[in-house]
Amino acid sequence: MDYVPHTPGEQKEMLKVIGVGDLEDLFADIPAKYRLGGLLNLPPPLSEQEIWEHMGRLAARNRLPGATLTGAGAYHHYIPAVVSHVVGRSEFYTAYTPYQAEISQGILQAIYEYQTMITRLTGTQVANASMYDGATAMAEAAVLSAKSLGRSRLLVGRSVHPEYRKVVGTYAWANGYACEEIPFGATGRLEQAALRELLDDKTAAVLVQSPNFFGVIEDIGPLADLAHSRGALLVAGFTDPTSLGILKAPGDSGADFVVGEGQSFGNPMNYGGPYLGILASTEAFMRKIPGRLVGATVDREGRRGYVLTLQTREQHIRREKATSNICSNEALCMLAAAVYLACLGKNLKRLAALNVWKANYLKEALSALPGWRPLFTGPVYNEFAMSCPDAGAANRRLEKAGFTGGYDLSKDYPELGGGILFCATEMLRREDMDKAVSLLK
Amino acid sequence: MELIFEKSRPGRAAGTVPASDVPETALERLIGPELLRDTLNLPELAEVDIVRHYTRLSRRNFGVDVGFYPLGSCTMKYNPKINERVAGLDGFTALHPYAPEAFVQGNLQLLYELAGYLSEICGMADFTLQPAAGAHGELTGVMIIKKHFERKGQRRSTILIPDTAHGTNPASVALCGFQVATVRSDAEGGVDVGHLRELMTKDVAGLMLTNPNTLGLFERNIEEVAHIVHRKGGLLYCDGANANALVGVTRPGDLGFDIIQLNLHKTFSTPHGCGGPGSGPVGVKRHLVPFLPVPRVVKRGRRYRWSEDFPHSIGRVRSFYGNFNVMVKAYAYIRSIGAAGMRRVSENAVLNANYIKERLRGHYQLAYDRTCMHECVFTGEKQLRESGVHTTDIAKRLLDYGYHPPTIYFPLIVREAIMIEPTETESKETLDEFCEAMISIAREARENPDLVRSAPLTTPVRRLDDVLAARKPDVCWTVCQGE
Ligand SMILES: Cc1ncc(COP(=O)(O)O)c(C=O)c1O
């Protein structure tokens, strides 16, 4: 099947208006030898019913886990029915970027409200209308820091998500910046003394994450003070943004940029995407931050309305001098986040607390197993790292029982001598945790 | 309309949180009071308030399902509903990106096959699906160019870009530490081959070309252009955002391009969601495959798995694997229409654009009078000269007629540009009605220019003050709500 409405008769009429004999004539500018003689080598077209069946079979080749014990940058949370209802309205999902404000007030106001919610949660003054994901949000904040300070060195916490570190590394390589790692200590937090040593006058930004990749909550204030003492900026990431329901806002601790993955706010795990890059900053960067910003204004009759604003930062005006090349973002994921936060409201605090309680319950239960102990002593949110006799074997047991197990730390952190990262959100029932623990006995 | 914060009432709540089935220890004990926040300032509403709020907002938003959306260079075609339905299957949405490979064989098969289909469609050796949007794909492509020369031990500092290019092209190049040099367009709207030859030195890493370009024109001299770039050892990059004119008709790889990014949210009909998510896969010729981002899906026998074992890769450009759920929709789309459907897409997209071009040519001035591809570009200069009506005014008047306006003021080399891209999913009736509206506006501009300049008259708000928004930025609502 296809989605072209033309009848052969209509095609002929149109060709006549154009003044050509047949469709092929419209492609006369393409040198004949480059025009495909036959058809592409693709599987035969399917009817709608066949697509439904085929895609169903593909999806069924996947195995849905009985419970998910993995976090590590993507989190299994409950999504209120209202979220998918709103995001499923085609006035939103079939629209383009709101260039024509008069017929896009819906999404523009929703973005303005989202910007407000994010600044409140993160303790900042400006939030953009989204980046691709948490990793690119962090990388772009790093590049922007370097560009605005004219410095070329980045210090990245080793407790930052390994994939985020890699993405920052790729962007840094492309720009010719140096990237070095700040070590962590026995608490699982970054070593302040080591950071003090590493900092110099070329350092543009210190990149940290709290909760960090091990689930440990960093104390951002002293890290920000250290960075600022050498004129560098602090980029504070987070793992799961639901933690902001209880944790002190990073902006209030001195972070210049707050970045991270917003998937937890109303977006399914979707095997890794689409996700939502959150990027917020102090007012000082309002005219520099990447991506779109919505501002309130008035119309000709004095009514309140919203427009894309401060666009001179953007690629379509400043071209190679733009602060970023981002154009399409993750607006629909952002809408989901806004609706999610509206649904949760102040209950986000209770949800966050539930995550802490569940994670601590599982952590304690696992700690009682022979050969198992927490790797770090710092306080955790909904994830925690354990040392155990054999992480691979542990995961195989969990998988056999249909669970998605923990994140094996050995590939990214050989210095930990094995280790596994577990996550417990509100979706993990006590009986599943008990079952997991008994499987690991 | 009231803001959601203004509708908030202390003590109201929608989403409830389940009771805890584990001990509830005080957070101060588990975490430490100094790390905890004392206020959480989010709106408080009942579920019905939230649903009505966003439903009302949606009614103030124009999407493809609402009406014709001929936004040039954005390919706002109809988005088949079956794609949404299959992408919503639990088997696709509910999996964690680190789920064991044994749990996700369906996903991996889909990714592997999709990369294969895109390679076939573009004439490339392989594709990465990791980039999250077109511009992200451009960035990835330029990184691949950088890596290619790094491996060869060559320092090349510049990338050439035509003056018609989308702004993301120069921005992507600059983000990779290259200089941008601008190639002029010739009188026919193509690359000025003489200027290209002059600029193409051993210091130039390559040319980034949109084909068809943003004037909707095919680069007739593509063979010579490729030759000039390749002879000096440069690489030819294709911004494939306009592939809707080519699929099934010709392949960028065969035309001499070494690298291409596709915008799945355009050609492959994955809805754009008010600005995203998109997906910007990047395809390369054989000699550049080693530089693609990691991880990549590999197939052993009937099993699929992720591999990071590509030592020359540029690394990662995004977490996980890209916008997977967008790819599900693109995959379903390709499987629905097949090879013959692909060709029908291009043929009818080009047919529609040329039809509009012919119907409007007596009323608006064409920027370049040539057969166009998937979009046609007019200039509103005649209207401006004769009645002082700007292209913006024409666009705003179209709102009153119930259409989303075309792209305006782009490409930058056309003054008062009006860029119309109808796409293949629009019927002749729709195009005729749209043309009638455009013709009426041309008449209004002559007879009653004040009417056009005061448009729109029928939208929920009228023209908004952009200058005020930029001069006194108000980007978040700061009225204190109390706790
Ligand atoms: C010609 C062209 N190139 C690149 C892009 C950038 O794509 P994206 O918005 O997906 O980043 C666009 C669309 O905005 C485009 O029209």
Residue A6: DSSP 8-state: -
pLDDT of residue A419: 96
B241 lines ligand 1 (CB under 6 A): yes
Whether B394 has a pLDDT exceeding 70, the answer reads: yes
The pLDDT, as a whole number, for residue B54 is 98
Report how far residue B175's alpha carbon sits from residue A322's, in angstroms, rounded to the nearest whole number: 9
The minimum CA-CA distance between A198 and chain B, rounded to whole Å, is 25
Q: At residue B191, does pLDDT exceed 80?
A: yes
Strand partners, B284: B126, B259
For tokens 């101060």, name the residue: B28
Of A35, A286, A317, the CB nearest to B473: A286
Q: What's the token pair of residue B433? A: 């009605």
User: What value, to the nearest 5°, has the Cα angle with vertex B277 and ends B271 and B283?
Assistant: 90
H helices of B101-153, in order, are 105-122, 134-152
pLDDT at B482: 39
Q: Do the beta carbons of residue A317 and residue B171 sit within 8 Å?
A: no
pTM above 0.90, yes or no: yes
Estimate the crossing angle of helix A347-367 against helix A331-344, to 10 degrees.
90
How many angstroms separate the alpha carbon of residue A55 from the centre of ligand 1?
Answer: 29
Give the C-alpha separation, B136 to B155, whole Å: 23
- For the residues B442-468, what does the mean pLDDT come to? 97
pLDDT at A323 (0 to 100): 84
Q: Is B424 helix (H, G, I), strand (E, B) or coil?
A: coil
Inter-chain contact A346–B44, Cβ cutoff 8 Å? yes
Do the beta carbons of residue A106 and residue B61 sit within 8 Å?
yes
Task: Check if B421 has its Cβ closer than 6 Å to any atom of ligand 1.
Answer: no
Task: Choose the residue to mutate in B71, B129, B168, B421 for probing ligand 1, maximizing ligand atoms within 8 Å of C-beta.
Answer: B168
Give the model confidence (pLDDT) of B459-471 as tens digits. 999 999 999 999 9
C-alpha A42/C-alpha B389 separation (Å) is 49
B315: number of CA atoms within 13 Å, CB side? Answer: 19
Point out the ligand 1 atom lying closest to the alpha carbon of residue B278.
Answer: 10
| Test the B interface: residue of A46, A62, A85, A267 with most B CBs within 10 Å | A62
pLDDT at A313: 79
pLDDT at B481 over 50: no
What pLDDT, on a 0 to 100 scale, did the predictor assign at position A10?
97
A349-363 pLDDT, tens digit each? 999 999 999 999 999
A408 to chain B, minimum CA–CA distance in Å? Answer: 10
Does the C-beta of B133 come closer than 6 Å to ligand 1?
Answer: yes
Residue the block writes with tokens 């490979």: B101
Q: How far is CA B138 from CA A130, A236, B172, B264, B389, in A?
A: 19, 27, 6, 13, 37
Of all helices (H) and strands (E), which one includes residue A178? strand A178-182
Separation of alpha carbons B211 and B237, rounded Å: 10
Minimal-distance CA residue of chain A relative to B25: A357
**CA gap B338, A40 in Å, rounded:** 8
In chain A, which residue's Cα lies nearest the Cα of B138? A325
Alpha helical stretches, state H, A239-346: 315-318, 331-344
Mean pLDDT of B165-180: 96
**How is B335-386 classified by DSSP, letter by letter?**
HHHHHHHHHHHHHHHHHHHHHHHHHHTTTSEESS-S--SS-EEEETHHHHHH
Decide: A328 in ligand 1 pocket, CB within 6 A.
yes
- Cα separation, A421 vs A309, whole angstroms: 42
pLDDT, tens digit, 9 for 90 and up, residues B111-147: 999 999 999 999 999 999 999 999 999 999 999 999 9
Mean pLDDT of B433-453: 98
pLDDT band at B364 (very low <50, low <70, confident <90, very high): very high
pLDDT by residue (tens digit) across A34-90?
999 999 999 999 999 999 999 999 999 999 999 999 999 999 999 999 999 999 999
Residues A36 and B184: their CA atoms lie apart, in Å, by: 30
% of residues, chain B, pLDDT over 90: 98
The shares of helix, strand and coil residues in chain B, as percent rounded to the nearest 5, are: 40, 15, 50
pLDDT of residue B309: 97
pLDDT at A232: 98
pLDDT in tens, B307-356: 999 999 999 999 999 999 999 999 999 999 999 999 999 999 999 999 99
d(CA B50, CA B54): 6
Q: Is the peptide bond before B43 cis (omega within 30 degrees of 0)?
A: no
Test the A interface: residue of B319, B355, B479 with most A CBs within 10 Å: B319
The residue type found at B427 is: S
Contact A67, A418 (CB under 8 A): no
What pLDDT was estimated at residue A321? Answer: 81
The rounded average pLDDT for each run of 10 residues, N- to C-terminus, in chain A (441 residues) is 95 98 96 96 98 98 95 98 98 97 98 98 98 98 97 98 98 97 98 98 98 98 98 98 98 98 98 98 96 96 96 81 92 98 97 98 98 98 97 97 96 95 98 97 90
B51-98 per-position pLDDT tens digit: 999 999 999 999 999 999 999 999 999 999 999 999 999 999 999 999
The average confidence (pLDDT) of chain A is: 97
